[in-house]
Amino acid sequence: MGLFSFGGENLFLGIDIGDSSLKMVELKRHNRQIHLVNYAFSENVNAVNFTKVEDIAYLAKAIDKVRAEAGIKCTRLTASLPTFAVFSSIINLSNVDKKNLTKLVNDEAKKVIPLPADEMILDWKVIPDAKGQIPTRGNMRVFLTGSPKKLVRKYLDIFKQAKLTLASLETETFSLVRALLGNDKSTVMIVEIGANSTDLFIVKESIPVLNRSLAICGSTVTKALTEKLGMSYAQAEQFKLDLSFSLGADSTEELPQLMIKTLEPIVTEMQYMLEFFRSQNSGEVEKVILSGGGSLLLNLADYLSKRLNIKVIIGDPWSRINYPEELKPILSEVGPRLAVAVGLAMREIT
């Protein structure tokens, strides 16, 4: 579900502009299979926030530098819009047929979008009914998304200056659904633990029907460690990663418990969303999929599974992509960070 499409040939490059990083994945299609060509990411720890920088030239230069250093050749791409900048809502429509669907969606959108309609780019998708079918008339539910035109123009300018062709923009949510779920229509919760925020959403029939965002995230844990150990931010970030790979969530040592305590608001929010979804007679969430760099902390999947009594796994964005077997260890480690970029690159080649 792209918010803005420009047409043209198949896309192979996905670029995820995160708060503190740039992530790129280059794919190709060969003999009906998808192959990994290249990937790159640049961490900008405790420095500039890429998603809030207004300096177009700076961002274009940063993108060009990462792409050139990695040897990525593709110049046509899909990029992500930050979750906090995208509005989404489910609207209910009555007495609909194909002839008046667009008008009804636009009329209802004006009632819920946060900006005047002429300042927003809207996109929408009809939600399947209880039988999994897309209704064409009668009562229906529509998933509506919108982004400020000003933001879209900014991204157009960034990639133009970077001498890249922007094929489409889409929300991080749909990129994650594509990369981590594919054709799986089961009801799941995806928890993306990023550097500066955590996004939680429940997906039913490939549509995010419930979502929340928290300020508790990977950097929250890092800051807690800096206060406890008196380290610099960069030192604490590395210590956190080293600790995560050497200790498990069941450890009784003080530092792992400190990290778990810091992440407790995420656990609380997950519990609330699961219970709320169930109370609305929307069915049961079958599993939780973790993504983002924070998903690798302290065997977090096992810990959450025990706390919430539900299956919790770390998402694998490479599950439908072919790559050399010798790359598996490193790709398993970087996969959660690159999931959005993988989903972006797959958008028009799947």
Q: Supply 123's token pair.
A: 């996109």
Fold of 86-147: Dna Ligase; domain 1 (3.30.1490)
Collect all residues with Cβ–Cβ distance below 8 Å to 139 and sequence separation of at least 6: 92, 93, 94, 95, 96
- Give the pLDDT of residue 30: 82
Give pLDDT, residue 245.
59
Residue-level pLDDT at 50:
65
What is the per-residue pLDDT for 291? 96
Domain boundaries, the chain: 4-84+151-182+317-346, 86-147, 192-314
Which of 347, 345, 18, 3 has its CA nearest to residue 156? 3
* pLDDT of the residue at 183: 85
Give the amino acid at 280. Q
Q: Among 72-86, 123-137, 159-173, 301-315, where is mean pLDDT lowest?
A: 123-137
Asked, colleague to colleague, whether 4-84+151-182+317-346 and 86-147 share their fold, the answer is no
Predicted pLDDT of residue 127 = 85
Question: pLDDT by residue (tens digit) across 310-345?
Answer: 999 999 999 999 999 999 999 998 999 999 999 999
> Looking at domain 192-314, which of 2.60.120.260, 3.40.630.10, 3.30.420.40, 3.30.565.10 is its CATH number?
3.30.420.40
Question: What does the pLDDT look like over 2-47, one tens digit per residue?
Answer: 555 554 445 589 999 887 789 999 999 888 889 999 999 887 644 5
Return the half-sphere exposure (C-beta side, CA atoms, 13 A cut-off) of residue 73.
4
Closest by alpha carbon to 27, among 16, 38, 17, 42? 38
Question: 234 φ, ψ to 5°?
Answer: -65, -40
**Other C-beta atoms lying within 10 Å of the C-beta of residue 188:** 21
CATH for 4-84+151-182+317-346, options being 3.30.420.40, 3.40.1440.10, 3.30.460.10, 2.40.170.20: 3.30.420.40
Q: What pTM value is reported for the model?
A: 0.88
Tens digit of each residue's pLDDT (9 = 90 or more) over 207-247 = 898 989 998 888 888 888 888 888 888 888 888 777 665 55
| Paired residues of 79 in beta bridges | 15, 169
Cβ neighbours for 239, distance < 8 A, ≥ 6 positions apart: 225, 229, 231
Q: What is the mean pLDDT of residues 291-295?
A: 90
Give the model's pLDDT for residue 96: 87
- Three-state secondary structure call for residue 133: coil
Alpha carbon 54 to its chain centroid, in Å, reads 22
Confidence of residue 114 (pLDDT cuts 50, 70, 90): confident
Which CA distances in Å does 187 have to 98, 170, 219, 286?
A: 28, 22, 29, 6
